């Protein structure tokens, strides 16, 4: 294995391709297709840019799968990790504690919606949701007036909450989950509002869609509320569904309904948390304070794996008791609350607050909307969905009928390749082009990204190929 360390000579992608040396099985990837392509090897990051092993610069248009907040190689976060590394890299939280985990928990409680007072660490978004599901289930058995019949979960169509089995169980995207049907127990499922492709198939405006979906939710709750432990939802934006968005009014009404029937609220803010929608947490826009808040991705600024599940004092107290009562939460992960990850998270939160990053997202959101408006009448753009710095551009073969492109055409995938040739790295969801830049993206960068996407859509849909271009940071930012 000599020569495959940190400083490989020459182009690693070329050597890997020529020698077929890859042993890697990549997530959410059809490896048959990938094997025919030239591998894209990211060698380093520079701010909001990625640099390949061949020296090509690519703008990180999806924040390294929605996780990066400030950019790459951020001095303050780098230094925080180095300082912590000089102390200790890892120690268990199964009994002992350490300062980074304690301080981070206090800061998260201070930032979170009211009533969330306890923090349980895990490793990623899936496990953050898994923790919330297990806690909610056990809580109803151990609370002062137990309700052991509350064993079901309520979830929305097209939801995605991760890939561990509990999270898969509440997920609603058949492509990802149906093969695992024999392994999971299905939740009660309510239609998620989606005005462009309303699940109720009614002819109405966007407000009619959410009200109709809410009425269905009300009927489900009225019939089954004594069996429901918790309602699991992605606030405002269902990311993996293709950036499907529902209004704050729907979420607020759904929360009131659940509260009235003793159903706990599990807010999956793995994607929406830490400023992506223009507020620190998406729940804030609807005035909803959940019983569980699931966080990951942007928690460490996109540096290291770390997740947190926040919950309330009543839930926490239901797990207290004598040793022999076995009321403890028997769940944990080896790297729960890893000190290096906690140090990165603390530096990330300090930057978010000191540089008023979330306020910057709110300020730049209308700028991004104006830039996107140039695509609004494109004959192959069905709908543009935006909340803060979360954008989905749905491509269609026919705008009037909303007819999708044939699956085998792989239209959005080819648009992504055309964007890459212009210096912008994206990853679509089906035929939805996703833009989710780092939160520090400038107005000029946002305008450039949307222009690149427009050119790429034109190229793919009207067959105007473009050769690969090398883009510099100065081309977009003017050197700033």
Inform me whether the pLDDT recorded for 5 exceeds 60: no
Q: Do domains 40-73+357-477 and 77-354 have the same CATH topology?
A: no
Among 119, 94, 417, which residue's Cα sits nearest to residue 295?
119
Residue 38's pLDDT band, with cuts at 50, 70 and 90, is confident
Any idea what the Cα angle at residue 215 is, between residues 258 and 390, rounded to 5°? 75
Inform me whether the pLDDT recorded for 480 exceeds 50: no
Domain-by-domain residue ranges, the chain?
Answer: 40-73+357-477, 77-354
Q: pLDDT tens across 301-313, in order?
A: 999 999 999 999 9
Q: pLDDT tens across 138-194, in order?
A: 999 999 999 999 999 999 999 999 999 999 999 999 988 889 999 998 999 999 999
Strands (E) in 73-183, as ranges, are 116-122, 152-156
Task: Kindly state the average pLDDT of the residues 109-113.
Answer: 98
d(Cα 292, Cα 213) in Å, to the nearest integer?
A: 23
Q: What is the pTM of this model?
A: 0.93
Q: Which residues contact 128 (CB under 8 A, 6 or more apart)?
A: 122, 162, 268, 270, 294, 295, 296, 307, 308, 309
Inform me whether the pLDDT recorded for 317 exceeds 60: yes
SS3 169: helix
Q: Count of CB atoms within 10 A of residue 353's CB?
A: 13
List, in sequence order, every residue forming a beta bridge with 395; answer none if it has no partner: 381
Inform me whether the pLDDT recorded for 433 exceeds 70: yes
| Structural class in CATH, domain 77-354 | alpha beta
Q: Which helix (H) or strand (E) holds 230?
A: strand 228-233
* CATH T-level topology, domain 40-73+357-477: 3.90.1150
């Amino acid at each position: 294995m000599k020569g495959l360390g940190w400083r490989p000579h020459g182009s690693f992608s070329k050597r890997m391709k020529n020698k077929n040396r890859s042993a890697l099985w990549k997530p959410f990837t059809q490896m048959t297709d990938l094997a025919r392509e030239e591998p894209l090897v990211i060698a380093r990051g520079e701010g909001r840019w990625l640099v390949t092993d061949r020296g090509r610069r690519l703008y990180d248009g999806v924040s390294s799968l929605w996780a990066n907040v400030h950019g790459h190689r951020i001095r303050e976060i780098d230094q925080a990790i180095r300082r912590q590394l000089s102390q200790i890299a890892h120690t268990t939280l199964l009994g002992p504690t350490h300062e980074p985990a304690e301080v981070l928990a206090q800061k998260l409680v201070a930032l979170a919606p009211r009533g969330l007072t306890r923090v349980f660490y895990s490793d990623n978004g899936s496990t953050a949701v898994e923790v919330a599901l297990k806690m909610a289930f056990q809580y109803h058995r151990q609370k002062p007036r137990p309700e052991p019949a509350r064993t079901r979960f309520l979830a929305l169509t097209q939801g995605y909450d991760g890939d561990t089995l509990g999270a898969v169980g509440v997920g609603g995207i058949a492509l990802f989950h149906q093969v695992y049907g024999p392994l999971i127990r299905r939740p009660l499922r309510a239609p998620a509002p989606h005005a462009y492709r309303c699940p109720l198939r009614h002819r109405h405006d966007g407000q009619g869609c959410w009200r109709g979906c809410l009425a269905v939710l009300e009927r489900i709750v009225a019939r089954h509320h004594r069996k429901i432990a918790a309602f699991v939802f992605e606030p405002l934006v269902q990311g993996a569904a293709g950036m499907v968005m529902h209004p704050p009014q729907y979420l607020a009404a759904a929360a009131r309904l659940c509260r009235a029937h003793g159903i706990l609220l599990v807010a999956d803010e793995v994607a929406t948390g830490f400023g992506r929608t223009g507020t620190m947490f998406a729940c804030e826009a609807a005035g909803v304070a959940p019983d569980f808040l699931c966080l990951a991705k942007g928690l460490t600024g996109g540096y290291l794996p770390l997740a947190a599940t926040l919950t309330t004092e009543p839930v926490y107290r239901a797990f207290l008791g004598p040793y022999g009562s076995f009321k403890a939460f028997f769940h944990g992960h080896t790297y729960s609350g890893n000190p290096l990850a906690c140090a990165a998270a603390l530096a990330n939160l300090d930057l978010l607050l000191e540089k008023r990053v979330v306020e910057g997202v709110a300020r730049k959101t209308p700028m991004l909307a104006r830039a996107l408006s140039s695509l609004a009448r494109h004959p192959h753009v069905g709908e543009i969905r935006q909340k803060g710095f979360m954008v989905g551009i749905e491509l269609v073969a026919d705008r009037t009928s909303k007819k999708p492109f044939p699956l085998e055409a792989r239209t959005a995938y080819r648009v992504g390749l055309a964007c890459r040739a212009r210096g912008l790295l994206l990853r679509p969801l089906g035929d939805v082009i996703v833009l989710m830049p780092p939160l520090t993206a400038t107005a000029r960068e946002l305008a450039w990204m949307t222009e690149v996407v427009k050119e790429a859509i034109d190229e793919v849909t009207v067959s105007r190929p473009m050769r690969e271009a090398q883009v510099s940071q100065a081309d977009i930012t003017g050197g700033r």
